Homo-oligomer: A and B are copies of this chain.
Amino acid sequence: MRQVSIVGIGQVPVQKVYAESLRRLGATAVHQAMSAAGVDRVDALFAGNMLSDELQNQKHIAALIADEAGLFGIEALQVRAATATGAAALRMAYLAVASGEADLAVAVGVEKMSQGAATPALAKALDARQEVAAGATLISKNAELMLRYMAQYGMPEDGLANFAVNAHQNALTNPNALFHKPISADDVRQSRFIVPPIRLLDCSPICDGAAAVLLAPSQAARTFTDMPVHILASSVATDRFRLADRANPLVLEAARLSAQKAFQRANLTAADVSLYEVHDAFSIMACLLLEAVGFAPPGLGWRLAAEGEIGLNGRLPIATMGGLKARGHPIGATALYQTAEIVQQLTGQAGQNQVQNARIGLLQSVGGAAATVLTHVFGI
């Protein structure tokens, strides 16, 4: 199996609404990643998108983006894992290069959520027959987790507020972020309920965006860039699909398992991680992920945020460029933004968001109510 490295990244700034088409946004991110590596051709393109079936009435988007990007003839496939879709595209590109089937593969994620009704389409990440039919949405499932967490561990209702505060702080200086507005813990406390106890500022926003990363065999990486970032591990695990079927829904088993597999493969532990791009679609999810990976014992994940350990200079910087909460969460693109941001961090290109001595970056991506979690570990 070949080692695989990232040799180029592309990020279209996240916006509430883009006038450009889905395919154009995707092709733009692809071109950025290719041009960063100085190439005008790739062998394969793997596209991540969750919602275009409903929102753009469009399937077959991998071939469509390849066409729009002028990459006639190449391999192009779409990969999905609900809200973790971007990471699935990254994993498939990784497998293509690792196996030797492709020498240059681009993983691109794109989502245009501004067009049509995103919320009902997002709910299809849950069980249509047994959850959605009973009124569940991704927000209500996260509210269920938060209520249970408060009851089990005695966390106050505003215990998660600093996750959003940190994300907005970090987004301030990320030109690709949707929000450039600092918020306070009081702002979170006073924001309106969406599904109690989850408030507006506990949620990531609906938005448009596209991001891409270009992968090459590590052995050839320096042909394309002076600063390759290596993919030290890529893993996927699933959990029982429905929260109701899990022994303890507060233990995100898919996150724990995929992190374990990834650390083992990379020969690292959680203690080696310089920064963690967490799936903070909802603050409670970020909290539970910190615990699943082993950054905090059960019941104490929220304290990492409350005690300021998650800032750029903290013990474990998370959401260093704004996270899903403030950079934005254009679903299929999200993990590719996060990967690009980890590349910026590990190569010292993160500007005012730079984490000092960043050597190992961790990425986790959550599908649905954590029925699927992908873990990627990056290093220099």
Residues of A within 8 A of B (CB): 1, 21, 44, 50, 53-54, 56-60, 62-64, 66-68, 71-82, 88, 91-92, 95-96, 98-101, 121, 124-129, 132, 234-242, 245, 253-254, 257, 367-368, 371-372
A241-B67 CB under 8 A given contacts A44-B236, A58-B128, A80-B77: yes
Option from B63, B95, B126, B234 in Cβ contact (under 8 Å) with A367: B63
Q: How many copies of the shown chain assemble into the complex? A: 2
A257 near B59: Cβ-Cβ < 8 Å? no
CA distance A124 to B245 in the complex (A): 35
Write 19 A-B pairs (CB below 8 A) sorted by A numbering.
Answer: A44-B236, A57-B124, A57-B128, A57-B132, A58-B128, A59-B125, A60-B81, A62-B81, A62-B372, A63-B368, A67-B245, A73-B253, A73-B257, A76-B81, A76-B238, A77-B81, A78-B88, A80-B80, A95-B99
CB closest residue in chain B, given A246: B72
A238-B66 CB under 8 A given contacts A78-B81, A79-B79: yes
- For A68, A77, A80, A245, the residue with the greatest tally of chain B CB atoms inside 10 Å of its CB is A77
CB closest residue in chain B, given A236: B75
Q: How far is the CB of A354 from chain B (nearest CB, A)?
A: 32
**Chain A's interface: helix, strand, loop or mixed, by majority?**
mixed
A82 near B59: Cβ-Cβ < 8 Å? yes
A60 near B367: Cβ-Cβ < 8 Å? yes
Q: How far is the CB of A109 from chain B (nearest CB, A)?
A: 14
Option from B95, B238, B241, B257 in Cβ contact (under 8 Å) with A96: B95
Option from B76, B79, B91, B239 in Cβ contact (under 8 Å) with A236: B76
A124 near B60: Cβ-Cβ < 8 Å? yes
- For A53, A54, A238, the residue with the greatest tally of chain B CB atoms inside 10 Å of its CB is A238
A129 near B371: Cβ-Cβ < 8 Å? no
- For A50, A124, A239, A253, the residue with the greatest tally of chain B CB atoms inside 10 Å of its CB is A124
CA distance A123 to B64 in the complex (A): 14
Q: How far is the CB of A183 from chain B (nearest CB, A)?
A: 31
CA distance A101 to B236 in the complex (A): 11
CA distance A127 to B79 in the complex (A): 19
Q: How far is the CB of A30 from chain B (nearest CB, A)?
A: 13
Q: How far is the CB of A47 from chain B (nearest CB, A)?
A: 9
* Complex A-B, nearest 3 residue pairs according to Cβ-Cβ distance, in ascending order: A60-B82, A99-B99, A75-B236
Beyond contacts A67-B241, A79-B80: 9 other A-B pairs, Cβ-Cβ < 8 A, are A60-B371, A63-B82, A73-B239, A74-B238, A75-B235, A76-B238, A77-B236, A79-B92, A98-B100
Complex interface: chain B residues within 8 A of A78 (CB)? 79-81, 88
A54 near B53: Cβ-Cβ < 8 Å? yes
